[in-house]
């Protein structure tokens, strides 16, 4: 169903997408429903859990509270866009090596935030990681492992 006369153009994971969607719809809904990018998760719809985190121009945002119009003419990276030439991003690799997940539902949002964190601060302290990641909830309680995974990725990325 065409929603608007003027499509919104967004660069998603490196590919330009022209989307005929209502401007007020959430970026999360558009990514999941229109583009089939289901790696970005719904957790709360109000920016409290972090499960929907994506990168907008490299900055982490909560896709559930971001109107799709905010992404117009900009680039969005989702978890599906992190793999380059078949290679996992070092943060993905570290999550895998540390097994920093139980059910895996919060994992994509955590990884996106961690990627942004390490770009900004390649050598964060444990306290910084806790503070920067505090908006991400994991009900399974894997926080300790996520901290270890981010530290491990940071060490590898500094080399």
Partner 1 sequence: MKPRGADDSSKDECGGSGLTRREFLQAAGGVVVLFSIARPLEAGGGGSAPPTAVGDINAWLRIGQDGRITVFAPTPEVGQGLRTELAQLAAEELSAPLSSVDVILGDTDRVPADAGVSASSALSTIGAKVRQAAAEAREMVASMAAERWGVPRAGVVIEDGRAVLASDPETFVGLGELAGGRRLVRRLERPAPLKPAAEHTLVGRPAPAIDGPAYVRGKARFAGDVRLPDLTYAKVLRAPCLGAKLVRAETGVAAAQPGVIAVVQEDDFVGVVAVRPDLAERALRSIQATWEEGEHASIGSLYQDLRQSAELEQEIAVRGDVETALAGARQGYSASYRTPFAAHAPIEPHAAVASPQGERIVVYVGTERPFGHRTAVAEALGMPPEKVRVIVPAVGGAFGGKDGPDVAVDAARLARAVGRPVLLSQSRVEEMSWNYFRPAAVIDVRCGVTEKGEIAAWDADVFNCGSRGAEPPYAFPNQRVRVYRCNSPLPQGPWRGLGGSANAFAREVHLDYVASELGEDPVAVRLRHLRGDAGMERVVRAAAERYGWHDRRPPTGLGAGFACAADDGSCAAVVADVEVERASGQVRVRRVLVVQDGGLVVNPDNLRSQIEGAVVMGLGLALREAVRYEQGRILTGSFASYPVPTFREAPSVEIVVLPDPASPPRGGATATLCAIAPAVANALFDAVGKRLRELPLASVRLRAGT
The count of chain residues that interact with partner 1, using the rule CB under 8 A, is: 57
Strands 8-12 and 75-77: parallel
Residue 36 Cβ vs partner 1, minimum distance, rounded to whole Å: 6
Q: Return the residue of 17, 22, 65, 67 that touches partner 1, per CB under 8 A.
A: 22
H helices of the chain, in order, are 27-29, 90-98, 107-120, 126-132, 143-158
Binding to partner 1 in span 50-109, by CB under 8 A: 51, 78-80, 82-83, 88, 92-93, 95-96, 99, 101-108
Please tell me whether residue 128 binds partner 1 under the rule CB under 8 A. Answer: no
Please give the Cα distance from 89 to 74 (Å, whole number). 22
Encoding tokens for residue 28? 């999360």
Please tell me whether residue 131 binds partner 1 under the rule CB under 8 A. Answer: yes
Residue 120 Cβ vs partner 1, minimum distance, rounded to whole Å: 17
From 21-29, 69-77, 116-124, 151-159, span contacting partner 1 (CB under 8 A): 21-29
Q: In Å, what is the CA distance from 63 to each residue of 21, 30, 76, 142?
A: 15, 9, 10, 23
Residue positions counted in the chain: 159
Residue 13 Cβ vs partner 1, minimum distance, rounded to whole Å: 11
Q: Are 89 and 53 in contact (CB under 8 A)?
A: no
Strand, helix or coil at 81? helix
| Residues of this chain that bind partner 1 (CB under 8 A) | 1, 22, 25, 29, 32-33, 36-46, 48-49, 51, 78-80, 82-83, 88, 92-93, 95-96, 99, 101-108, 111, 129-131, 133-134, 136-147
């Amino acid at each position: 169903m065409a929603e608007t006369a003027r499509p919104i153009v967004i660069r998603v994971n490196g590919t330009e997408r022209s989307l005929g969607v209502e401007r007020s719809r959430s970026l999360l809904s558009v990514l999941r429903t229109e583009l089939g990018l289901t790696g970005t998760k719904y957790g709360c719809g109000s920016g409290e859990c972090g499960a929907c985190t994506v990168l907008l121009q490299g900055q982490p945002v909560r896709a559930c509270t971001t109107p799709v119009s905010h992404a117009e003419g900009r680039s969005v990276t989702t978890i599906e866009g992190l793999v380059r030439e078949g290679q996992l991003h070092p943060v993905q690799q570290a999550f895998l090596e540390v097994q920093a997940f139980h059910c895996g539902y919060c994992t994509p949002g955590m990884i996106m935030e961690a990627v942004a964190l390490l770009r900004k601060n390649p050598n964060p302290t444990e306290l910084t990681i806790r503070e920067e990641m505090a908006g991400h909830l994991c009900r399974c309680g894997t926080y300790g492992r996520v901290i270890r995974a981010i530290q491990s990725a940071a060490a590898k990325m500094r080399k």
